[in-house]
Amino acid sequence: MTTNINEHAVNFWASAFARTIQTTLCNPLIVIKTRLEVLGFSEYNSLFDAIKKVYIKEGPSGFFTGLKISLIRDVPFSGIFFPIYEYCKKFYSYAF
């Protein structure tokens, strides 16, 4: 079983890039979901009311609150996890 260091680097950067896109695109949904969980319907009457109020109070950047910390948490984890997963998958396919 030979593993090229380039293969690990490609796996790292591919998974890190994919996680960056996923986290960025999903962050507005997570912001709204979290606010509905924490503040409940005492402040927001519905999902669309929450979206409207966040946009009016904070602007478009309000939907990306917490994005930096999410990226700091998720991207390195994904970048490390996927190459390890691929390595283990190959290792155990040869072992059995």
How do residues 57-72 score in pLDDT, each as one tens digit? Answer: 999 999 999 999 999 9
Please report, rounded to a whole number, the percentage of residues in the chain having pLDDT higher than 70. Answer: 93
Backbone phi, psi, residue 78, to 5°: -65, -40
Give residues with Cβ within 8 angstroms of 35, minimum separation 6. Answer: 43, 44, 50, 54
The structure's pTM equals: 0.78
d(Cα 22, Cα 16) in Å, to the nearest integer?
A: 10
pLDDT band of residue 96 (cuts 50, 70, 90) is low
Query: What was the pLDDT predicted at 39?
Result: 80
